[in-house]
């Protein structure tokens, strides 16, 4: 769980990341309550790179990072958080900054010496066999002896879920870039069904890309749908908004975004120690039900209405793999629904999602 600079600063603001931005986001991660519910990694995405020195060492952009990366990492660590960085196995990153091609071990050593905890390694201009190319950086990171989370992306091409674990990755993107747009988000999220056998604590995670909550291109129901879907899928939760805006106590909208990002019952579904990725179990046109098995023996269902209009979706217990009568809890409404049985109706508004925890009665 964490935050990444790309969606808000790279795309919306057209601004490269900087020392000032990263410090402010890290502070906001703490003050907004995001850290308290588990968000930990403050990830610097593309456009931090400032080329290489005469010895080939990668350097941050000197204007945007005047104190250097080690000092920034120290600051982020002093807040009890971790720090991530970005590179590419190609000669150039996606934004045409210098990549790690031919400098894999040198860059891994540099990142480790700065105190980096997470690397997003993004295909961009790379060539060659992706499993082999990604393995090279994994070995380089391991050689540093610093634990560094390894997040790889080649946009879901060549089925990275089949070889991500063997290439040493902890998470792999399963699709093209998610955008702050309902239809792109839905295509990305709902399209990830069927990958559940590849994810888990000993394997790694299918990464559905960044959360868009707070960026303004979707309404609250649609953002709630993204959070629900991502948590049922056990996808990494990497926020993509400006966390400092969440600190505005007078903005009702920002407080709604904050509530969507920090609901600890919902996050517990994503972070459940069993690490089971959920899947679609029922579908009728634009209404869907997904289920996820939890380590405490309960089942969490996500119920989705992907279109306009209000609907009542019945829970078909047999199809969703639940038996008898269960205790039901509405995780978004934070409301006990009491005992429910086959056929229980879930009411949904336009473009919205519900998330229910169903616990067998002992
Ligand atoms: C690719 C990635 C994005 C982001 C940009 C940066 O598009 O998929 O997540 O890292 O590159 O240039």
The string of DSSP letters for 11-35 reads IIS-----HHHHHHHHHHHHHTTTG
pLDDT of residue 252: 98
Q: How far is the CA of 285 from the centre of ligand 1 (A)?
A: 32
Residue pLDDT, tens place only, 67-105 = 999 999 999 999 999 999 999 999 999 999 999 999 999
Q: CA-to-CA distance for 329 and 251, rounded, in angstroms? A: 29
Q: Residues 242, 253: contact at Cβ < 8 Å?
A: no
Q: How far is the CA of 294 from the centre of ligand 1 (A)?
A: 32
User: Residue 317: what are its φ and ψ, rounded to 5°?
Assistant: -55, -45
pLDDT of residue 362: 78
In a mutational test of the pocket of ligand 1, which residue from 122, 126, 171, 210 has the highest number of ligand atoms less than 8 Å from its CB? 122
In a mutational test of the pocket of ligand 1, which residue from 9, 90, 153 has the highest number of ligand atoms less than 8 Å from its CB? 153
Catalytic member of 45, 46, 107, 122: 122
Strand boundaries in the chain, DSSP class E: 2-4, 41-43, 49-52, 58-60, 82-87, 118-122, 149-153, 171-173, 205-207, 238-239, 279-284, 287-293, 299-305, 311-314, 326-330, 335-340, 345-348, 352-360
155 Cα nearest atom in ligand 1? 8
Catalytic residue status for 122: yes
Catalytic residue status for 270: no
Number of Cβ atoms within 10 Å of the Cβ of 357: 22
**CB-defined site of ligand 1, < 6 Å:** 6, 10, 45-46, 94-95, 122, 153, 177
User: Residue 318: what are its φ and ψ, rounded to 5°?
Assistant: -60, -45
Whose alpha carbon is nearest atom 6 of ligand 1? 46
Q: How far is the CA of 125 from the centre of ligand 1 (A)?
A: 12
86 Cα nearest atom in ligand 1? 10
Cα–Cα–Cα angle for 62, 68, 74, rounded to 5 degrees: 155
Q: CA-to-CA distance for 18 and 65, rounded, in angstroms? A: 6
Catalytic member of 61, 74, 177, 327: 177
Nearest in space to 345 (alpha carbons), one of 311, 307, 308: 311
pLDDT, mean of each 10-residue run, the chain (362 residues): 98 98 99 98 98 98 98 99 99 98 98 99 97 98 98 96 98 98 97 96 98 98 98 98 98 98 98 98 97 98 97 96 96 98 97 97 86
Nearest in space to 361 (alpha carbons), one of 327, 329, 337: 327
Q: Which conformational region is residue 26 in: left (phi greater than 0), alpha (psi within -120 to 50 degrees), or beta?
A: alpha
Q: Between helices 220-232 and 252-262, what is the axis angle to 10°? A: 10
Q: CA-to-CA distance for 285 and 345, rounded, in angstroms? A: 17
Q: Which two structure tokens, joined as six digits, stand for 180?
A: 């702050």
Q: How far is the CA of 233 from the centre of ligand 1 (A)?
A: 21
């Amino acid at each position: 769980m964490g935050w990444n600079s790309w969606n808000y600063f790279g795309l919306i603001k057209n601004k490269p990341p900087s020392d000032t931005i990263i410090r402010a986001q890290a502070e906001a991660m703490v003050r907004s309550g995001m850290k308290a519910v588990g968000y930990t990694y403050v990830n610097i995405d593309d456009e931090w790179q400032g080329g290489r020195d005469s010895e080939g060492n990668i350097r941050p952009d000197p204007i945007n990072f005047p104190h250097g990366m080690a000092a920034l990492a120290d600051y982020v660590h002093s807040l009890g958080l971790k720090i991530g960085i970005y590179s590419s196995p190609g000669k150039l990153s996606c934004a045409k900054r210098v990549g790690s091609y031919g400098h894999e071990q040198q860059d891994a050593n540099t990142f480790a010496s700065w105190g980096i905890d997470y690397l997003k390694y993004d295909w961009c201009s790379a060539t060659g066999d992706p499993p082999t190319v990604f393995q090279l950086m994994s070995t380089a990171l391991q050689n540093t002896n610093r634990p560094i989370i390894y997040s790889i992306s080649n946009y879901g091409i060549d089925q990275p879920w089949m070889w991500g674990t063997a290439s040493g990755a902890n998470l792999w993107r399963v699709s093209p870039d998610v955008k702050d747009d309902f239809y792109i988000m839905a295509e990305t999220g709902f399209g990830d069904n069927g990958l559940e056998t590849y994810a888990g604590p000993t394997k790694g995670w299918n990464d559905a890309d960044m959360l868009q909550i707070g960026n303004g291109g979707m309404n609250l129901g649609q953002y709630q749908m993204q959070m629900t879907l991502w948590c049922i899928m056990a996808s990494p939760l990497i926020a993509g908004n400006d966390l400092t805006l969440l600190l505005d106590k007078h903005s009702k909208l920002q407080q709604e975004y904050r509530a969507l990002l920090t609901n600890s019952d919902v996050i517990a579904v994503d972070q459940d120690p069993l690490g089971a990725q959920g899947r679609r179990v029922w579908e009728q046109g634009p209404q869907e039900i997904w289920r996820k098995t939890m380590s405490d023996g309960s089942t969490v269902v996500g119920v989705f209405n992907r279109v306009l209009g209000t609907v009542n979706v019945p829970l078909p217990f047999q199809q969703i793999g639940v038996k008898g009568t269960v205790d039901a809890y509405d995780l978004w409404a934070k409301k006990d629904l009491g005992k429910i049985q086959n056929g229980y109706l879930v009411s949904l508004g336009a473009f919205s999602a519900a998330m229910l925890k169903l616990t067998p009665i002992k």
